[in-house]
Amino acid sequence: MKNIVIITGASGNLGKATVEYFLRQQATVLATVSPGKSLGYQVEGALETFEVDLTDEIKVQTFVKDAAANFGKIDAALMLVGGFAAGNIDNTTGDSLKKMVSLNFETSYFVARPVFQQMKTQPQGGRLVFIGSRPALRAEEGKNTLAYGLSKSLIFKLAEYLNAEGASHQVVSHVLVPGTIDTPANRAALPQEKFSDWVSPEEIAEALWYLTSSKGRSLRETVLKMYANS
Ligand SMILES: NC(=O)c1ccc[n+]([C@@H]2O[C@H](COP(=O)([O-])OP(=O)(O)OC[C@H]3O[C@@H](n4cnc5c(N)ncnc54)[C@H](OP(=O)(O)O)[C@@H]3O)[C@@H](O)[C@H]2O)c1
């Protein structure tokens, strides 16, 4: 039976590589994009695209419940939505912190909560994968990206809590932590850097597939780092 996989942030750099990889593996992909937006690329396979504002908890809950009802199960959910903001304590206001928490944490939490509840009812459980960030783990980096680092740090704790509750239900959560991803935006922002030291979206997509397919069924490590040489 095909894997039914929710992928958020499907129009982003990591999102595109992940949707393409999962479709090549014959997964059924339920991809989300922001309201009024499209994927922005053509792809073949079992793909359904949904316009959902992931900062709206009720809308996300409806999307997940409808998906579970229509497809009969959810095997995996990949919470790829996120965004970056620079700034240390001097220039991080409460408002900028709230924006980062909404974009990086709430968009993951609002999907993870109903998905987790659905997976607990499934005999085979399921897998949730969140995308962390290195500044949340390394204070020397996080001090200059304070709101970003703080908002991503909540994801690590959430995954730990979900693993504590999900263990008896075969529901397993991971936080994949990329180093600098080789994206057009990062190449433009950091032209002096050696791009071959970065992790590619395709490498991350392959790791996400491993984690969520039968190949990774025994894996239990919560935090997985993919820094390459960055
Ligand atoms: N790039 C890096 O070097 C790096 C390093 C470490 C971790 N990460 C993390 O990796 C993940 C993917 O990064 P990326 O570079 O691929 O990001 P990206 O290209 O900026 O993609 C982010 C995606 O999030 C979607 N999105 C934003 N707000 C949304 C909302 N309210 N509702 C629904 N969708 C929304 C965007 O869609 P729309 O444009 O349609 O709104 C976009 O598809 C993020 O979590 C990021 O924090 C990135």
| CATH classification of the domain holding 151 | 3.40.50.720
Q: What is the average per-residue pLDDT within 127-142?
A: 98
Confidence (pTM): 0.98
> Nearest residue CA, atom 19 of ligand 1?
12
Residue ranges with strand state E in the chain: 4-7, 28-33, 47-51, 76-79, 126-131, 171-178, 223-226
Range of the domain at 143: 4-226
Q: How far apart are alpha carbons 78 and 31 in whole angstroms?
A: 10
Judged against a pLDDT cut of 80, whether residue 199 lies above it is answered with yes
Q: How far apart are alpha carbons 102 and 174 in whole angstroms?
A: 20
Number of domains in the chain: 1
**pLDDT 10s digits, 37-60:** 999 999 999 999 999 999 999 999
Question: Residues 148, 84: contact at Cβ < 8 Å?
Answer: yes
**pLDDT 10s digits, 103-127:** 999 999 999 999 999 999 999 999 9
pLDDT at 40: 97
CB of 80 sitting under 6 A from ligand 1: yes
Nearest CA among 5, 29, 27 for reference residue 129: 5
Choose the residue to mutate in 54, 81, 137 for probing ligand 1, maximizing ligand atoms within 8 Å of C-beta.
Answer: 81
